[in-house]
Structure formats: structure tokens, C-alpha cells
Amino acid sequence: MAILRLGSKSEAFHREGNSWICTSGLPSDVNINIGEMSFQLHKFPLLSRSRLLRKLIEECSNGDGASFSLRLDDLPGGAIAFELISKFCYGVKIELNAQNVVSVRCAAEYLHMTDEYGKGNLISQTESFLNEVLGNWADSIRALEACEEVMAHAEDLHIVSRCIDSLATKACADPSLFGWPLAGRKSNQSPETTSLWNGISTMTKTKPTSDNWWYEDVTFLSLPLYRRLILAIESRGMRPESIAASVVYYARRYLPLMNRQSSFDDANPGPNILNPSESGQRALLEEIVGLIPNKKGVTSTKFLIRLLRTAMVLHASPSCREILEKRVGSQLDQASLVDLLIPNMGHSETLYDIDCVQRILDHFFLEEQAAAVATPDNIVEEGQLTNESNSMAPMTTVARLIDGFLAEVAPDVNFKLPKFEALASSIPDYARPLDDGLYHAIDMYLKAHPWITDPEREQLCRLMNCQKLSLDASTHAAQNERLPLRVIVQVLFFEQLRLRKSISGWFFVSDNLENSANPSGNVGLKKDGSHHATDGEDDVTHRVSELEKDCSGMKEELRKLVKYKRSWKNFTRRLGFSKSQSCCSKRSKPSNLRAIPPSTVNR
């Protein structure tokens, strides 16, 4: 910390209760009162340094040497600043630093302590030292904090703007060029280490290199000063991501309600920070929402939804909540299912805020439509399905997210059917490659609402496309007693069509293999009649020829077996054996056997 030492005399003041008494040996002839403090001083050291005090002393002095009193309740910095000023007038040793120089500078200006009333007067001394203070990051922070006590006078002297300009310049530049963050506060600075240079031990510090080295220091500023500093930093071209990260850091520190809903690591407020009132948090939140850069993706969707929840709890203005809903909707594809489970703070009976999710979804589609109009080449017609292409990926992600949300809130008995249909139908059909998630949500709703009528069940099931159900979902739907009979028949019908297509496709592949095994025509032949094929064709041809050989061998074996069986039957028939006789030949006597003619045996 920078320090300016003025004066050379030893201490000549002592305090008795609420009074400061100068022990110079002479009785005091002027008593200056500031608030509850009084200063028993002498008029000649004072009027020789201050034009205002000279004027007041001349007006109150009767010339008889009697003591008199003055009141300076409007003095910037109060009694603390005047204590240093009075010691300076007497030439007593004082120390000025970044924390008291602002109040002393404002008080000196108030008392008109210019060089006209003494060379090296307090205005010139404090002004020179203030320029030195603003050259250091940590001292600039301290000086800006000190401006809070004398804000009006510091504004008139442009001390606040000078501090903010100094901090903004340093935040946008290389931090290694400036001083360290505030001493005694948690920061990213590394402890001192010892290094050797030509055998000489020196104390060095590792400079902070990350972009967030200044985040924590500026959180000690009040909201008006922090807001002015962020705007100054933004005007100097800092990246929106860094500005958003700083605003998030500030919000985590001063919004305890939001911290209770999350598990932020650095959200614990410092020991000197008290929880503000609800109205204070509401005003703080609305200011923070205005400071967040209006650029998609610079702030995480999770934080924006946390901020939206806190705005609902604090009953923030409708415009503030609308801004948050629009920003969440612009990057809804980055949200998770847990983030969308916003507790209901309104008059609705549902556990979660369904209307808020519907508004967020509407904002998302408005953003997508605007992006599609801006880039016509990326327009996807309804009914066109793509495999997670760049243009369809956000839509598909949001579709899965909303289907999961519907399945999560479907067991709520107060969830009305029109709201379910409105939210489910908001997703276009082409955004769902499969309707398994929607089917699961419908099944959960039917299970939790068994009292709905059959026409309502039919109407609800029209939301899903039975042709876009997977095999597992179709199998489950075919056995689901909660579904209308018409839907079950449709599922079975489309599964039969799918099976037929699969079988026909298999036969088509088989025919292609046979055609490739027996090529016709002159396709693929060289001029000399030899076949010219690629490595893949040779491989397929080789495998087909092997299959043909195996098939021919099996056919030959089967033909031999059939021929052998027929010859054996003919042989037994010529011998006159029947099947029953051959089976019972061992148990019966051959008494009824007719004689075999010799001619037959010879044959």
C-alpha cells in the first residue's frame, strides 16, 4: 500500500473523551465542533493554511483574544479527516494512504487549502499522492471504496471517475503490469517464493495469468460503483464472456436466496457481508439482469434459470422476469431437465410452473424462426428428418427436453389436459426422430389421470405418431391397457408393415447376391473378355462361390441319401418284407412265409 508521510513534529495532540486537545503549552482560543467531537486548537496555525477557516475566524473573532467556537458539520470525512488536517496545520507527523487520502483531499478542497496559503499545501500534496495511488490496482480499489463516504464531493472532484477509469484500464490489460489484488483478501495470487539469480536470493511472485483475477476484488464495491465499473470495462472492449463471469460472481456473493438453490463453490459471502433485505435483493437482482451481456451463450443457462427462480421468489418486476425468460429461451437447448423444474410461485395448483416453461419454449421457437429467416439456406421443411444435423440439433435436443419434462410433471393430478396438449403440440413433428419420449409422457399422464374420458384419451393419443415408435415402445404399447383400442391396432398394423419391409428387404439383398454371383452381359468385362473387378467385388464373388459349392455338396449328399433310401425300399419290397414284419420278425415264427422263387433270388 502506498503511504505519504507529512510533517516532522512529534505528536502534540491527545484525546480526552470526545475532545482533541493540542498540548503546545498555550491555551486554545478556538473550539471547532464536528458532530460529537470537538477540537481545542489555536487560530493562527489554522488560518495560515485554510481560506475558509480564515474567513470564519475573522467573522467570529472580537479582537479581545477570547476563545470562540465554530461548527463544521458539513466537512467531508468528518472528525477523522479534520484530525489529520489539524495535525497537518501544526506540522505534526501524519500518514496518508489509499483509504484516507480521498476524504482528506475532499476536506482540503472544502477548506480551500491551496498553495496560496502556504507552499506545498494539503490540496497539492493529496492530489499528487492520489495520482500515485491510482497507479496501483489494489490502492485504486481502496480509494474507490473510500469514495462512498464522501460521494458527492468525490464526484465533484472527479475522483470516482478517475478511480473507475484506472481500474477499467488495468482490468482490460495484462495484470502483470500492475500491482496485486487487495492484501488480506482471497485472491488468485501465489505465495512468495525464493529464486536465485547469480547466487543472490530474491523474493519473487508468480503473476496471475487467468482472466478472472479481478473478479473477487470488485465484488467489494457497492452496486452503483460496480455497475459503473462494468460499463467502463465493457466500453473498453472486454470480451462479453469475462463481463458475464464477473456479474455471475457478484450475484453469487450478494443474492443468498439464489445460493440456497445451487451448489456453487464460491457462493459463500464474506464475513463482513450481511444478508440484505428482500427489497434490497430485489433491486440488486434487477440491476444484475441489466448488466448481463445480451449475447447468446455468454452466460450459462443454469445460472439464468437460477436467477429466474430467485426473481420469482423476490417478486421482481414483470419486465425483469420477461427478460430472463427470453434469455433462457434463446439457449434452451443448453438446459437440463432439473433446471426446468421451476417451483410454482403463482396461483396455479400445479407443483411446477408449467406456464413459465411454455413461455420459455415459445421464446425458443421465436429465436429459431428469426435465425431461419436470417439464414435461408438452413431452413428445414416440416417432415424432413435429419440425423442430428447442425440446424436440427437444437430442435431435437429441446424436443427430448420437453418430452422428459412432460413425463416428470405428468403425475401431478392438478396438471390439466389442455396444458399438457398445448406444451406437447408446441414441438413440431419433424423435431422428434422418435416419439418414445412423448409416448412415455402420455402413458404417465394416463396412469395418473384414470378418470379422463375415452374421447379425451383418443385426443391425447393423437399427439404421438405410432409410426415413429421404436420396437420396445411398440411392444409396450401393444400390451398397454390404458391406451385406446384404436391406438393399439395402429401400433400392431405399423409393426406388421415394418416387418414386411424388413423381410422384403432381406429377399432383395438375397436376389442381389445371386445376381452378383451369376453376372450377365458384358458389364465389367475387359476388351479381351476377362472380368475386371475391384477388391470388394472379388471378395463378394469369392464368398458367393464358396456358398454355391457348399450348397452343391449338400444337394449331392441329399441326392445320394434319397437314392440310397429308395434302393433299400425297392430291395425289401422285392424280398417281400413289410415294415410290420421286419419289426416283429424276432418275436414271431416264420411259419407263414411263402417260398421265394429261385428266379427272384437269382435276380
274 three-class SS? coil
Alpha-carbon gap, residue 8 to 28, rounded angstroms: 22
Residue 465, phi-psi category: left (phi > 0), alpha (psi -120 to 50), beta (remainder): beta
DSSP for 473-530? HHHHHHT-TTS-HHHHHHHHHHHHHHHHHHHHHHHHHHHHHHHHHS--TTTTB-TTS-
Tell me how crowded residue 408 is: count the other CB atoms within 10 A of its CB: 16
* pLDDT computed for residue 559 by the predictor: 67
Q: What is the DSSP letter of 531?
A: B
What's the pLDDT at 25? 72
Q: CB-based contacts of 456: which residues, under 8 Å, 6+ apart?
A: 417
Query: Contact at 8 Å (CB) between 236 and 169?
Result: yes
Helix (H, G, I), strand (E, B) or coil at 416: coil
In terms of Cα–Cα distance, which of 398, 393, 314, 404 is closest to 363?
398
Place of cell 487487495: 182
φ, ψ for residue 115, nearest 5 deg: -70, -10
Q: Nearest-CA neighbor of 410 among 439, 451, 441? A: 441
Question: In the prediction, which pLDDT does 597 show?
Answer: 42
> CA-to-CA distance for 322 and 345, rounded, in angstroms?
15
Instruction: Supply the pLDDT for residue 478.
Output: 84
276 burial (CB, 10 Å; 0-12 / 13-18 / 19+) is: middle
* Residue 269: predicted pLDDT: 42
Give the single-character DSSP code of 292: S
Backbone angles phi, psi at 503, to 5 degrees: -65, -45
User: How confident is the chain (603 residues) per 10-residue block, as mean pLDDT?
Assistant: 86 83 81 91 90 89 76 93 93 93 96 90 94 93 94 95 94 67 46 41 47 89 94 93 94 82 41 64 92 91 94 92 94 93 82 94 90 60 45 87 94 92 92 91 92 90 87 85 85 78 60 52 43 49 61 65 58 49 41 40 35
For residue 471, what are the CA distances in angstroms to 400, 502, 507?
18, 13, 21
| Cα 24 from Cα 28, distance rounded (Å) | 9
C-alpha angle 300-305-311 in degrees, rounded to nearest 5: 130
Q: How far is CA 42 from the centre of its chain?
A: 64
Backbone φ and ψ of 406, nearest 5°? -65, -40
pTM for this model (two decimals): 0.72
**Alpha helices by DSSP H, 201-330:** 215-218, 223-235, 240-254, 256-259, 278-291, 301-313, 318-330
pLDDT for 361 equals 95
Q: Per the structure block, which three cell numbers stand in for 30? A: 478556538
The beta strand positions in 83-187, using DSSP E, are: 94-97
How confident is the model at residue 128, as a pLDDT?
94
